[in-house]
């Protein structure tokens, strides 16, 4: 039996609307299901964890945005219960990377024809990163996005709007990345992104070559740019062409530590979790996800 975990407030109420379409479709097809609505932050993780321990669900489907996926993924990591996604948030970057259709009924269709694939996550010391993390400018943007009263109304444009607001004030800082034991120090670091999947920030292709089945984390470090240069290269992140700029350095590794003399804000899967220092270690093939059947066959 499928368990649907619905975040009714994701996408400023979009979660509830998407669920009513999915529910009608499930009834129409006579598919048995259970549904639980999240009541507070952290609740999706609790529901998923209990479902995994009881063993009476075959798959969990998260209806919400990246924050809901983060929580459900944290509840199911290191279990065999697969998770599927029906996007209803404002960013939906993980769904974008998994090529989940944005239309609820098409997304459901894909879930019903799924096969299961194990994907990598990363451990941050008790918390699990499912898709992506960001430090510095990105952390500040995530904070601005999550506080914005316009979040649910502007959708992806809210990330761009928040990025522009942050750009005016943000001060780049010295940062050291240690990748599998090797340290690299950069002056004037704007941001460091650590990704399992290419996208974050509502469709920005920050680590275009990231794959969540290779046992490695992709890292993109943006440093040594004036504010004007940063503004000029910013649009190229939507196509992934920013990686050719000399101020962009890419890394790949299994264990990553980030430190900075001035503390920088960190977000994980779009949720602000604190400030540097940060240590992550890849957890290869630690989460089962529902994938479209067509892709693998
Ligand atoms: N009933 C609830 N009331 C308030 N907050 C909730 C409730 N249920 C879940 N949440 C919280 O809502 C937050 C936002 O959820 P989510 O990230 O899925 O949507 P979004 O922010 O609209 O989408 P995205 O992250 O893709 O931009 C999460 O941090 C989650 O913990």
Contact 195, 206 (CB under 8 A): yes
CA of 85 to the centre of ligand 1 (A): 14
Look at ligand 1, atom 13, and give the residue with the nearest C-alpha: 67
CATH of domain 129-284: 2.60.200.40
Extents of the domains making up the chain = 2-114, 129-284
CA of 237 to the centre of ligand 1 (A): 25
CA of 68 to the centre of ligand 1 (A): 6
Interacting residues of 86 by C-beta distance below 8 A, sequence separation 6+: 18, 22, 61, 62, 63, 95, 100, 104, 107, 108, 111
Which positions of the chain have pLDDT values less than 70? 149-156, 292-297
Q: What is the ipTM of this complex?
A: 0.95
pLDDT (0 to 100) of residue 164: 84
CA of 251 to the centre of ligand 1 (A): 31
CA of 24 to the centre of ligand 1 (A): 23
CB-based burial of residue 238 (10 Å sphere; 0-12 exposed, 13-18 middle, 19+ buried)?
middle
Given the CA of residue 68, which atom of ligand 1 is nearest to it?
A: 18
pTM across the whole model: 0.91
1 token code pair: 């039996």
Interacting residues of 34 by C-beta distance below 8 A, sequence separation 6+: 1, 2, 3, 4, 57
Ligand 1 pocket test, candidate residues 41, 85, 96, most atoms within 8 A of CB = 41
70 token code pair: 């983060």
The alpha helices in 29-101, defined as continuous H runs, are 43-54, 66-76, 93-97
Q: For 208, which DSSP code?
A: T
Q: Does domain 2-114 have CATH number 3.40.50.10330?
A: yes
Nearest-angstrom CA–CA distance, 207 and 52: 32
pLDDT (0 to 100) of residue 256: 98
The candidate with the shortest Cα–Cα distance to 65, out of 36, 42, 91, 104, is 91
Residue with tokens 């929580």: 71
CA of 291 to the centre of ligand 1 (A): 23
pLDDT (0 to 100) of residue 150: 63
Look at ligand 1, atom 10, and give the residue with the nearest C-alpha: 41
Ligand 1 pocket test, candidate residues 68, 152, 157, most atoms within 8 A of CB = 68
Residues with C-beta less than 6 Å from any ligand 1 atom:
7-11, 38-41, 43, 64-68, 71, 89-92, 270-271
Length of the chain: 297
CA of 9 to the centre of ligand 1 (A): 6
pLDDT (0 to 100) of residue 151: 56
Identical fold for domains 2-114 and 129-284, yes or no, is: no
CA of 43 to the centre of ligand 1 (A): 10
Given the CA of residue 41, which atom of ligand 1 is nearest to it?
A: 31
Ligand 1 pocket test, candidate residues 38, 98, 142, 158, most atoms within 8 A of CB = 38
pLDDT digits (tens, 9 = 90+) for 150-195: 655 666 677 778 888 898 889 999 999 999 999 999 999 999 999 9
For 134, list phi and psi in degrees, rounded to 5: -145, 145
Q: How far, CA to CA in Å, does 147 sit from each of 71, 141, 143, 227, 271?
A: 19, 10, 6, 24, 11
């Amino acid at each position: 039996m499928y368990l649907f975990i619905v975040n009714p407030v994701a996408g400023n109420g979009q979660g509830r609307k998407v669920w009513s379409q999915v529910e009608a479709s499930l009834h129409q097809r006579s598919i048995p299901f259970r549904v639980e609505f999240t009541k507070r932050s952290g609740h999706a993780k609790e529901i998923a964890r209990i479902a995994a321990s009881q063993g009476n669900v075959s798959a969990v489907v998260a209806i919400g945005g990246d924050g809901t996926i983060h929580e459900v993924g944290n509840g199911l990591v290191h279990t065999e219960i697969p998770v599927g996604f029906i996007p209803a948030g404002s960013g939906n970057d993980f769904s974008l990377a998994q090529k989940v259709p944005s239309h609820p009924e098409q997304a459901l269709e894909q879930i019903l024809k799924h096969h299961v694939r194990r994907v990598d996550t990363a451990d941050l010391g008790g918390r699990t990163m499912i898709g992506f993390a960001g430090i510095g400018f990105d952390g500040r943007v995530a904070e601005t996005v999550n506080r914005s009263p316009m979040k649910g109304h502007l959708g992806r444009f809210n990330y761009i709007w928040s990025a522009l607001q942050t750009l005016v004030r943000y001060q780049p800082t010295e940062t050291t990345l240690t990748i599998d034991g090797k340290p690299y120090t950069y002056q004037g670091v704007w941001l460091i992104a650590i990704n399992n999947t290419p996208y974050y920030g509502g469709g920005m292709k920050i680590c275009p070559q990231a794959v969540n089945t290779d046992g490695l984390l992709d890292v993109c470090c943006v440093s040594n740019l004036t504010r004007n240069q940063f503004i000029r290269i910013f649009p190229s992140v939507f196509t992934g062409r920013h990686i050719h700029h000399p101020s962009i350095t890419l890394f790949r590794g299994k264990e990553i530590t980030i430190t900075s003399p001035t503390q920088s804000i960190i977000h994980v899967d779009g949720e602000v979790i604190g400030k540097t220092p940060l240590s992550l270690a890849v957890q290869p093939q630690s989460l089962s996800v529902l994938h479209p059947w067509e892709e693998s066959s």
